[in-house]
Structure formats: structure tokens, C-alpha cells
Amino acid sequence: MAQFPPADQLTPEMLRAVLKQYPAPKLSPPIHAIEDLSVPGARSELRARLYRPSPATDLPLVVYFHGGGFVICDIDIYDDLCRELANCSGCAVASIDYRLAPEVRFPGALADCYAALAYFAENAKRWQIDAARLAVAGDSAGGNLATATALLARERKGPALRYQVLLYPALDPACDSTSMQALGEGYLLSRDSMKWFWNCYLASKEDATKPLAAPLRADVRALPPATVITAEFDPLRDEGEAYADQLRAAGVAVIARRYLGMIHGFASLPYVTPVANRALADVGADLRAALTP
């Protein structure tokens, strides 16, 4: 991946083409059942994939939003991670293909994520899930969308969420944290690339100050309990840990784990490091504890 041109030197179309040309290895861990779906988004139907780790008919559900800087990736690239997360947590996992930037800018992706969550909550019986045991999760840009969806659910008084999982979330368009400055080059995700992703996602400079785009600016009181995962050598490390501190200060129960020696995106790299599946096992244990009846 170090041989690829930096994201900020490419167009979104070129970056997507590079990903297709050099696909990551697929391990396809076994799982009880997978079903491809079409679910309502904010403006159009969205692809989704539902993972079931067992034949139980009242599973808790984790609605998962993939990473990729709001610009790249899809549910196919995240197939392995979602399989592993479902198996480790004992939860059904619904992975959502929200609309991407810059073709659709803020708040388009967020509106899709909230619509998908609301759909599964309203149709829980159809999909044999327990609407009283819902969680959201996501990594990187998807971590932003997960906690922003939780903020919307709080504001709109539903669906009720029991938990949120944020894997190295992107939460601050300013990109000026200590870790962003210290680790902004040489660790896969660069500061310049992150600024480029934010510029693709946000529709205006004013959006960078809006809590639903930049959750570090949000009032986080009464959000669901959270697990926040960070990586030692990730430019996004400090904003994720600052958000965990904000949640705690607001009285929200938080489990925060920094994985030493890891870079951004490590949970998607089980073919590189065993720490990837170890982190998902840790998250799975948190979800089991939070969503047990």
C-alpha cells in the first residue's frame, strides 16, 4: 500500500480504481448465514448485507458503517470484518452501503445511515432481530457516521440504541491534534489525505463546525455506552481518545482501548497481524455484555 499514490494526489474515481486493481486478500471466515438486501436510504435504495452468527430468531443487531474516508470502500471490502464481528459478538450485523462523497456530501451519508437503522428497527420481526437490543458501529469515517447516527437517534427520540462501537473514528475536520501532527506521514493514513477526505465529504466550511459532521463538537450527554478503539501509530488516535474522554465527562460509560504498535485500519488486516482479530474479539465481548438480555 505504501507504493500507491497518496489519496490527496488522486481523484475519487482514480482512488476507487486503484482499490479495485489491488484488492485485499479475502479470508471469508465461516458464518451461519449471510443475506444481501436492499434497504431504504434517505433518497434511494441502499445495498446492505445481513450476517447471522447462529439460527436464533431474536438476535441483537449491530448496524455497521464501513470506513474509507466517506469516499471509498463498500460492504464487499468489509465482508471479512463483519463476519468476524458477528461471530465474536453473537449479534446479527447489518453492513450498510451508504452513498459516498463527493458525489453526495454531508449530510447525505449520515441520512442514509440513520434511515437504515430506522428501517431495521421498524422491521425487526421480519429480519428476526430484537429491536430492544440495537447497536451501531463503524471504523474511521464509519465511526464518525456511527456516533453521528447515535446523536440523531437521541435527537429524534429513536430508535433506541444500547451501544456504540467506534474503531479509530474520524471526528475532527481540523486535523490538528498532536497525533495528527506527529504521525501525519509514514503511517499509511496521512494528514494531507485526511484533509482531502474531509474536503470531499463536507459541503461547506461551516459544516466543519456542525456536531453531526464533527462529533468532537457535540453535546454527548445521554448517548449510548461506547467502546472506542484507537491505534498507537494512527494520526486519528488523539481525536478518538478525546472523544472517549468527552463521553466519560458527560456520564456515558466508555471502554477505551489503545492497541500498541498498530496503524490506522488494523482491524481490517488479519492477514498482516493477529491483533486485528484480537481487537474484534475484544469488541465482540463488549457487545455481548451490553446486549445480553
Catalytic residues, which ones?
A: 140, 234, 264
Task: Please state, in angstroms and rounded to a whole number, the distance separating the CA atoms of residues 180 and 263.
Answer: 12
Task: Please state, in angstroms and rounded to a whole number, the distance separating the CA atoms of residues 78 and 138.
Answer: 11
Angle at the Cα of 187 from the Cα atoms of 182 and 188, rounded to 5 degrees: 135
Q: List Cβ neighbours of 241 (8 Å cut-off, separation of 6 or more).
A: 228, 230, 256, 258
Q: Quick count: other Cβ atoms within 10 Å of Cβ 181?
A: 12
**Grid cell 481525536 in the structure block, residue:** 239
Length of the chain: 293
Query: 245 and 216 in contact (C-beta within 8 Å)?
Result: no
